[in-house]
Structure 1
Amino acid sequence: MVEMVQTDVLIVGAGLAGLNAARVLKAEGVSAVVVDKGRSVGGRMATRRIGGGLADHGAQFFTVRDSEFQTMLDEWLADGLAFEWSRGWSDGSLAETRDGHPRYAIRGGMNALAKHLANGLDVRVNFKVEAVAHVDDTWRITAEGGGMAHACAVLLTPPVPQSLALLDSGRVALSDANRRALEAIKYEPCIAAMIVVDGDVRLPAPGAIQRPHAPIYWIGDNRRKGISDVLVLTAQASAMYSQQLWDRTDEEIASALRVDMLPIIGEQSQIVEMEIKRWRYAQVINTYGDRFLMADGQPNLVFAGDAFGGPRVEGAVLSGLAAGRALATALK
């Protein structure tokens, strides 16, 4: 069935930025439809079933600095959706480390927060946008399989290189200043592994280590985190190591990671299953200065996401809120 959409605002990307923008627009009485190429909402708020358990394989936790985000978190804590997981991570010495700053996670996995935010919104998954064009004073979005959307405004929340590619496909010209600013945003990749283990592992409380300069910079135990009934580790490779492994097969990457994980898993435990996930745009390393960008000379075309609000869960949320408010104002 070919899907046809008509709305005030078409939001590309059902991650935290897109979903929070949609919630603002709905509250302001502006119709919005969120589309995503994936099978579920969440983007990098990703949780996967593996080996009878669950593993967060994108964002592992989040912190809070902004008062508005703190207010949102307080509601999630009161509802039992969020919980404090830690106040610090070991650097790999396997001794517990605490720095006093809370790190939060989501019950049932990080993806559960995205599903919570999507409740009550018009979200269309498996809607892979191929081009965004501006025709006869209307935004026209074409999707794989013949899907089509028409909107008064477009909010693009995917990684910026993907958003620019959609506009290029639709022959939408950006101002030189806008294009320079957007092309200056840079990302680093990450290869993540979800590893089901039979036996014990060497991880200090509360079940994770973070080693910024190691090839495997993050290892977390999803069972001790409280989201999995079985022992499933999430391992995330550094940007440099991910680049080295990127073009290898999943089997070759898994073989390399088995060796890397030996100090944690040991020889007495057994890896039962391993899945590999490639995040091409995992970490923003050069962000835009404001929480969103409204394009010059193109009516109601806005860019948002963690490249604008800051390269964290909190940044994506705040970017979406700001972009939603800007569009609500522009369309009234």
Structure 2
Amino acid sequence: MTALHNEVHQTDILIVGAGVCGLMAATVLTAHKRNVTLIDKGRSVGGRMATRRIDKGCADHGAQFFTVRDARFGRFVEQWLSEGIIFVWSHGWSDGSLADAPSDGHPRYAVHGGMNRLTQHIAAQVEAQGGVIHTGVRVEAVAPEGDGWRVVAENGAVFAARSVVLTAPVPQALALLDAGNTPLTASDRAALERIRYAPCLCGLFVIDGEVHLPAPGAVQRPEHDFPWIADNQRKGISPRVPIITVHASPAWSEMHYEDPDDVLCEAFERAMRPWLAPDAWILEEQVKRWRYATPTVLHPERMLKIAAHAPLYIGGDAFGAPRVEGAALSGLAIGEALLA
């Protein structure tokens, strides 16, 4: 990932957002020798494929695993398996009432070293194929200019591109277009404004003591205020210390999104306490807020091509299907469209 200077950076295709969608689009495009630049506001690529280092361990605090239903994504997954990047964590989850997780036959894949490692791996391949990736770049506006686009970053950097791909959550993508006075047709704006997301509050807890979550180290209770509780040590990504990840439900997260961290941690601790040994201690705790965690109203297609003077595509996990696979398929579709 290269250093960025305050000058105009020319590229054929600019992808805003280096999460799964953006990286998969770049994978397709760089494989065909297209001139591609990705920028992301985060310190690293990955988006919600997020892994945080805490104490002597690490924990996944965004996406916890992923599944495969579509052969197009499955081909990449098979390659990552053969390369030893990912592994099958489970074929189902306990709801807390059974000793072990029931199997429904569908593998749940996790990543050695944490979910972010997969996006790091994809990013390295994109760069090896000639792609350029800049992190720590917060975009302020996307504006039409000549026969292409002018994308202005908060740090003063400017990107000039013939084609632009926006993979940020749709409210953020719309804000960038509006900030650049990019005209949208009524139908395009309506399609984007129909998309809805639910938030997710996440708690991370470093534990001194035993954790008794059922095999393979997680419970999933869809109707509960805290539907997901997982031990990252049992998962295999935090061998030196147990770190628990707790996710709150969309409804609970919406209700408590602005609560102070200490109040949230108390609620998370009550939820996970039944799976801790009586003498277990919490050594460290952190809260992560995901405002646009889960799309609840989706666009029916894998992407939206904006009616504009130059190619402009919007995609992500709110297009066609949610979750990691949905984001990947959206990115693949955008990449293929830009090759056409």
Shorter-chain TM-score range: over 0.9
Residue in structure 2 matching 1:174, options 167, 184, 205: 184
Q: Which residue of 2 aligns with 1:223?
A: 233
Cα distance in 1, alignment partners of residues 106 and 248 from structure 2: 24
Runs of 4+ in structure 1 displaced over 3 angstroms? none
Q: 1:24 aligns with which of 25, 28, 39?
A: 28
Q: How many Å apart are 1:258 and its aligned residue?
A: 1.9
Count of matched residue pairs:
329
Aligned partners of 1:144, 1:63: CA distance in 2, in Å?
36
Residue 324 of structure 1 aligns to a residue in which SS? Answer: helix
Contact 2:229–2:272, Cα closer than 8 Å, also in 1: no
Please give the TM-score of this superposition, normalised by the length of structure 1.
Answer: 0.96
| Unaligned stretches of 5+ residues in structure 1 | none
1:274–1:175 CA distance, 2 compared to 1 (3 A): same
Instruction: Please show how residues 150-299 of structure 1 align to structure 2 within 5 Å.
Output: 150-229=160-239, 230-299=241-310
What is the CA-CA distance between 1:305 and the residue it aligns to?
A: 0.7
- Write the letter of the residue equivalent to 1:85: W
Cα distance in 2 for partners of 1:309, 1:273 equals 39
Counterpart AA for 2:57: G
CA distance in 1, matches of 2:14, 2:273: 47
**2:12 matched to 1:8?**
yes
Instruction: Let me know the Cα RMSD of the aligned residues.
Output: 1.2
SS at match of 1:146: coil
Matched residue, 2:95: 91
Partner of 2:317: 306
Gaps of 5+ in 2: none
> Contact (CA 8 Å) 1:94, 1:203: kept in 2 or not?
no
Is residue 88–residue 99 contact of structure 1 (8 Å, CA) maintained in 2?
Answer: yes
Residue 70 in structure 1 maps to residue 74 in structure 2: yes
State how far apart, in whole Å, the 2-side matches of 1:101 and 1:261 are: 26
**Equivalent residues of 2:148, 2:309 under 8 A apart:** no
Q: Could you tell me whether the CA contact under 8 Å between 2:149 and 2:310 is conserved in 1?
A: no
The Cα of 1:29 is off from its aligned counterpart by 2.2
CA–CA separation in structure 2 for the residues paired with 1:95 and 1:237: 23
Q: AA paired with 1:323?
A: I
Deviations 1:147-166 (A, max 9, x none): 10000010000000000000
- What fraction of aligned residue pairs are identical, expressed as a percent? 51
State yes or no: 1:56 paired with 2:60: yes
Shift of 1:106: 0.7
CA contact (8 A) 2:147 2:309 kept: no
Residue identity opposite 2:186 in structure 1? D
> TM-score normalised to the size of structure 2?
0.94
Work out the CA distance in 1 between the residues paired with 2:149 and 2:70.
34
Structure 1 residue 266, shift from structure 2 partner = 4.7
Indicate the SS of the match to 2:188.
Answer: helix
| Bigger mean CA offset, 20-29 vs 154-163 | 20-29
